[in-house]
Structure 1
């Protein structure tokens, strides 16, 4: 936080996440009020995922072609306009879905640009601490502001929640205007976005470490999509908990996710240590198996605190490793590809998880989720073990 450029990036991302907390709660409540069905709410998840799958190759190419800060500012301004328009179309669920798709599409460009900028403004030894700061701010924003968003919707209506989100994007864009990032080298020759995207995929497929980490990402998404969405089923059918107790489980995850990066940044600053990168996957896999075995509320809460800790520390070290290793000219394309792998695995997991729960029971889903996370850790370990320190 002593570094001025990092403070500006941290401020921009944190403020926009404040607005996201209001937007997420308000959108779910609005869609449910318009459709009256869980299927309608599930459509919001699909609206978030589809733009990533469709636009990620184009987004990655543009992020590597254009000034990344300008890409982020443009995405923020587009999201601000869409969020501001939501109150004027909130009587039509089709229009709400349409704007949700637009918000997600703009984020497809913002996210890889943001990930690519960070290693340009902090040293490698600061990446773990820098990512920890961003992650902790995001988790605390969600935990603190999500309940407040529900109050705002209940007292003032949906409009104010959406306008708060629009204002947060404008504030984020204003903070980014002063962010100075070293210009990346000009390209030797012009190329089409299709060739750029193909080059990024070729680099990813041809390098042992990136290929292993991509597989790790996909396997983890196959696990987390189903277990995250079906935690409520596990709580009711296996743990025999009521709605209030389920809220305690969600809170336990938030506590672990908030404290994880604070602990991590105090014990290591090396983003290439396999134990810190892949250990969290093992930890989460074991917790999934424990949750499918135990039956007590308090033991489940303790396990989910550990799960949240593993989720946050794993995200920080995994991103830090990628930022340290990916060549500057390829960052946008590689990060966009990893986003696409995560969302495609998550979508597939959501589709198959429900079927598996009906056929084999919810405990089988969590045992399988744990096995997938252990497989993810093993795959990543092989890649790290057989790869030189730098690309």
Structure 2
């Protein structure tokens, strides 16, 4: 809901496009500034505690925002600061979240778990949250933020119910005399030393560079090329989510039948083809079908890649490696939006689709080797999964949880 309500609120406070854009930039800035640090923090402390503390803090922040909007005391400067704090909260949350799923789920079930989580996220975010946020904002500007505050409170309460080994293993925890900078460097170095993860990270960066660019110009493409109304644009956004849910839920069966490597390569190639097809058509209906297929291929790749990464990374490095990975993804999205604007301005609105398709095709060739199973190196890395360690180290963990 906040994804659509926050820019609407900014536009209500000022007509200066620079100030409106700066609110969005303030939300994204913490990932670039503190992403690696949040991973190091997550690998030192109880990840469940980080989740509920962050969401409790965001309950207060968004609740205060709702009050300020209702009492007409909000300024664009204060809104920018609140955007930064919410972005910082999301960055800290993501660092802890990176290690939650592998701590809750055994390695063979990672793909199924990630498929369900990403499907649920698409449904609640894109299909439900975005239109609901716009609807509630139309009733009264403070309402979506009041509901958002309640949702953060509920999330904080749910985080308290998580059970499992959510604190780094005592024998694997960072030396307390080491600095957070040293811990961060260790995570980046470990990621760089894994050829498979390097390729996956690079492919993710390219995929998000293309995706960020297409999102940035999609509304103009829908209006000027496809001649769609606002409802038609909403149809395009919804079609991505519907396709994404279908792709995510099909991923476990695809991996079981064709092997992880081939699923990664073919789904990356499919995103390339569907991006080009979406850019070539002038029909809104055909564009919607192509975008749905793009969403299915994109989520298939994401679920598979996230599951591979989670299986490979040792539990005491999950936060740091995960956030280093997300830094590349975030940089790709931001850079892609900027480049797509330049491409569309100089070459036309179809150009980002064609150029993006070419980049995705390159990404499909570097994502993984064309074998039907994970490499032996990956399998050995998977053997350090936290559940396997806990089986022989129950007293160390205690009875206690993305791309």
Equivalent in the alignment of 2:79: 96
Q: Give the superposition deviation at 1:102.
A: 0.5
Q: Give the superposition deviation at 1:259.
A: 2.1
Equivalent in the alignment of 1:199: 186
CA distance in 1 between counterparts of 2:258 and 2:308 reads 5
1:261 aligns to 2:248 (yes or no):
yes
Are the aligned partners of 2:7 and 2:24 in contact in 1 as well (CA < 8 Å)? no
Deviates more, 1:40-49 or 1:246-255: 40-49
1:294 aligns to 2:284 (yes or no):
no
Equivalent in the alignment of 1:60: 39
CA distance in 2 between counterparts of 1:352 and 1:101 reads 24
1:273 aligns to 2:282 (yes or no):
no
1:304 aligns to 2:291 (yes or no):
yes
SS of the residue corresponding to residue 389 of structure 1 reads helix
Are the aligned partners of 1:128 and 1:270 in contact in 2 as well (CA < 8 Å)? no
Q: Give the superposition deviation at 1:140.
A: 1.2
Q: Give the superposition deviation at 1:216.
A: 1.1
CA distance in 1 between counterparts of 2:287 and 2:325 reads 31
Structure 1: tracts of 5 or more residues without a match: 1-21
Are the aligned partners of 1:271 and 1:321 in contact in 2 as well (CA < 8 Å)? no
Are the aligned partners of 2:216 and 2:341 in contact in 1 as well (CA < 8 Å)? no
- Alignment deviations for residues 102-125 of structure 1 (CA, whole Å, 9 cap, x no partner): 111011111131121111111111
1:389 aligns to 2:378 (yes or no):
yes
Equivalent in the alignment of 1:169: 152
More helix by share: 1
SS of the residue corresponding to residue 343 of structure 1 reads helix
Q: 1:271 to 1:161 in 2, by over 3 A?
A: farther
Q: Give the superposition deviation at 1:38.
A: 4.7
CA distance in 2 between counterparts of 1:115 and 1:316 reads 13
Are the aligned partners of 2:63 and 2:145 in contact in 1 as well (CA < 8 Å)? yes
Equivalent in the alignment of 1:189: 175
Q: List structure 1 segments (4+ residues) > 6 angstroms apart after TM superposition.
A: 383-387
Equivalent in the alignment of 2:326: 339
CA distance in 2 between counterparts of 1:48 and 1:65 reads 25
Q: Give the superposition deviation at 1:297.
A: 1.7
CA distance in 2 between counterparts of 1:245 and 1:35 reads 27
Deviates more, 1:348-357 or 1:29-38: 29-38
CA distance in 2 between counterparts of 1:179 and 1:141 reads 21
Equivalent in the alignment of 2:108: 125
Q: Give the superposition deviation at 1:271.
A: 11
* Partner residue of 1:355 out of 320, 334, 342: 342
Are the aligned partners of 2:174 and 2:183 in contact in 1 as well (CA < 8 Å)? no
The correspondence of residues 137-148 of structure 1 with structure 2, limited to 5 A, is 137-142=120-125, 143-148=127-132
1:50 aligns to 2:29 (yes or no):
yes
Q: Give the superposition deviation at 1:51.
A: 0.5
Q: 1:354 to 1:339 in 2, by over 3 A?
A: same
Q: 1:103 to 1:283 in 2, by over 3 A?
A: same
CA distance in 2 between counterparts of 1:202 and 1:61 reads 13
SS of the residue corresponding to residue 362 of structure 1 reads coil
Equivalent in the alignment of 2:364: 377
- Let me know the Cα RMSD of the aligned residues: 2.1
Q: 1:48 to 1:383 in 2, by over 3 A?
A: farther
Q: 1:67 to 1:166 in 2, by over 3 A?
A: same
Q: Give the superposition deviation at 1:277.
A: 2.7
Equivalent in the alignment of 2:300: 313
Normalising by structure 2, we get a TM-score of: 0.86
CA distance in 1 between counterparts of 2:259 and 2:199 reads 14
CA distance in 1 between counterparts of 2:42 and 2:19 reads 33
1:87 aligns to 2:91 (yes or no):
no
SS of the residue corresponding to residue 57 of structure 1 reads helix
SS of the residue corresponding to residue 220 of structure 2 reads helix
Paired residue total? 369
SS of the residue corresponding to residue 292 of structure 1 reads helix
